Amino acid sequence: MRPLTTYADGVSARENAAPGPSSRLDVGALLAAAEAAAPVEAVDAVADALREMVAAEDVSFLIADFSGDALIRLGHSSAGPSARRAGPETAERVPLAGTAQGRALARQSVEVVEHDGGAWLYAPVTSRGEAVGVLELRVAGRTDEQTVADVAQAGHALAYIVIAGRRYTDLFEWGQRSVPLSLAAEIQHRLLPGSYTCEAGQFTLAAWLEPAGDVGGDTFDFALERDKLFFSITDAMGHTVNAALLATLMIAGIRNGRRRNADLAEQACLADKALGDHAGGSQFVTGQIACIELTTGAATIVNAGHPPPLRLRNGVVDEVPLHADTPFGALANTTFRIQTLPLEPGDRLMFLTDGVLEREAANAGIRGVLEAGRDDHPREAVQHVIQAAMQASGGELGDDATALCLDWHGGPPRERETNAGANVND
């Protein structure tokens, strides 16, 4: 279980505790208020409900920026002069490093900052490990355990509201874009899964993609079925729109096979055929497609000309030995080997693209980053790897840098142990 957190005035509260009998928060009413509002007004409806339920003031929602190092406070023309504006909408950048908002997101627990006879509360807005953003509000008077628990639950409910609402509006997507996306980056972004993180009883998975100035065609993907986990990482040759279109064929081929209930070999063949039928003969994609049978823990992988993953086991980092088959789309009628991916409970696997590995030669020190961050959540681990690659390249990537981290906890299939959206076993 998570430890007790002691606040500045000595008040203690169990982080992310479930609402007790005296809870003032009515989650059903909160969801009903959001459902009754227009998608662009759903967060405002939640704020109004929190003002009534827990006497909250100055309620804000901060969404995670695509940069990975900031949050964006969404509002209505009341932000400072540095905020971005689109009509009545405002987007104000709040850095993660060294802030209460950043600590709430990283620790996945409510941060309380006592101030002027009241307190600011910062609650992670999270679903299955996906860091959607932070709920920020102020309350008057002494902050007790129940208020912290109520705000934690409100943050968790808000995650589902935002995830549902962003299907209908570009507001949240606009807020997350601190810099404009090129056409190639727009295509690439649409190929990625709806969440970059997934926590489950047997594993935690997270990925991150940092596009180069000229998008290089990297992608990652995953899908959790009843008894299987599928995931992939790919790197299309070339740059800009051509690379993004190659990546589109690749991901569509994999997903088409997966959604037909095809096994790993057939998924690889369908993706390879999609490239062969619709791309030029000299164009190809390197990549890995993997599957873990959750009932047995057995894992298999197709490696199509891609760098082998790194494995952190018992504090030591080494490469997972894999044979490299021909890249997808390079030759007609390629047969891909189904290789064993050895897994033991406690293993961390880091899958990478060339944009990261090529920078290791320039002293990015990826192995050292993995060793130093062995206790990081995969969500933070992938960002630390990408940050190391960025620093080694002077802040300008020559190729997309993508990392996918899998922590294998092992054991039989089981549910996560959660409270307010956080995994209590972290």
Q: What is the pLDDT of residues 208-243, one digit of tens each?
A: 999 888 888 999 999 999 999 999 999 999 989 999
Q: Is it the case that residue 363 has pLDDT exceeding 60?
A: no
State which CATH number among 3.60.40.10, 3.40.50.300, 3.10.129.10, 3.40.50.620 fits the domain covering 181-423. Answer: 3.60.40.10
- One-letter identity of residue 306: H
The pLDDT of residue 209 is: 94
The neighbouring-strand residues paired with 12 are: 6
Higher pLDDT, 293 or 16: 293
User: What pLDDT, on the 0 to 100 scale, is given for residue 361?
Assistant: 41
406 three-state secondary structure: strand
CATH 3.30.450.40 intervals, the chain: 4-175
pLDDT at 360: 54
pLDDT for res 249: 96
The answer to whether the beta carbons of residues 164 and 201 sit under 8 Å apart is no
Mean pLDDT of 11-23: 43
Range(s) for CATH 3.60.40.10 in the chain? 181-423
- Contact at 8 Å (CB) between 352 and 309? yes
In the predicted model, what is the mean pLDDT of residues 32-61?
94
Q: Are 90 and 78 contacting, i.e. CB atoms less than 8 angstroms apart?
A: yes
CB 212 within 8 A of CB 386: no
Q: 16 to each of 3, 42, 55, 114, how far by Cα in Å?
A: 10, 23, 19, 18
Is the predicted pLDDT of residue 21 greater than 80, yes or no? no
Checking if the pLDDT of 166 tops 60, the result is yes
Measured in Å, how far apart are the chain's first and last C-alpha atoms?
9
Selection from 182, 157, 193, 211 nearest residue 400 by Cα: 211
pTM higher than 0.85: yes
Class of domain 4-175: alpha beta
Q: What is the pLDDT of residue 11?
A: 32
pLDDT computed for residue 103 by the predictor: 95
Q: How far apart are CA 243 and CA 272, in angstroms?
A: 15
Alpha helix segments (H runs only) across 89-202: 100-107, 145-165, 171-176, 183-191
pLDDT confidence of residue 18: 45
Determine the average pLDDT of the residues in 356-374: 79
pLDDT at 8 over 50: no
Q: Write out pLDDT tens, residues 27-45.
A: 999 999 999 999 999 999 9
The winner for highest mean pLDDT among 144-148, 359-363, 402-406 is 402-406
Q: What is the pLDDT of residue 179?
A: 81
How confident is residue 116, by pLDDT bands cut at 50, 70 and 90?
A: confident
User: In which band, very low, low, confident or very high, does the pLDDT at 77 lie, cut at 50, 70 and 90?
Assistant: low
Residue 12 has pLDDT above 80, yes or no: no
Residue-averaged pLDDT of the chain: 89
Residue 10 has pLDDT above 60, yes or no: no
Who wins on pLDDT, 33 or 178? Answer: 33
Question: What was the pLDDT predicted at 216?
Answer: 85
Half-sphere exposure of 61 (CA within 13 A, CB side): 32
Average pLDDT over residues 18-23: 50
The predicted pLDDT at position 152 comes to 95
Q: Residue 281 — φ and ψ, nearest 5°?
A: -65, -25
Q: How far apart are CA 65 and CA 113, in angstroms?
A: 23
**What is the predicted pLDDT for the residue at 393?**
81
Least confident of 181-190, 257-266, 320-329, 354-363: 354-363
Q: In terms of Cα–Cα distance, which of 212, 215, 304, 220 is closest to 265?
A: 304
**For residues 287-292, average pLDDT:** 98
What pLDDT score does 271 carry?
95
- pLDDT of residue 26 exceeding 50, the answer is yes
Tokens of 236: 């299309």
Q: Assess contact for 154 and 147: CB atoms under 8 A.
A: no
pLDDT of residue 199: 94
Q: What is the mean pLDDT of residues 368-385?
A: 94
Q: What is the mean pLDDT of residues 156-180?
A: 93
Give backbone dihedrals phi and psi of 135, rounded to 5 degrees, phi first. Answer: -95, 125
What are the residues whose beta carbons fall under 8 Å from the beta carbon of 148, sequence distance 6 or more? Answer: 13, 15, 17, 110, 112, 121
Q: Cβ atoms within 10 A of the Cβ of 416, count?
A: 17
Contact 43, 30 (CB under 8 A): no
Task: Name the strands in the sheet holding 84-86, side by side, starting at the edge strand that comes first in the sequence.
Answer: 84-86, 89-95, 70-75, 56-64, 130-140, 118-127, 111-115
pLDDT over 90 percentage in the chain: 73
Question: Does residue 398 register a pLDDT over 90?
Answer: no
Higher model confidence: residue 81 or residue 363? 81
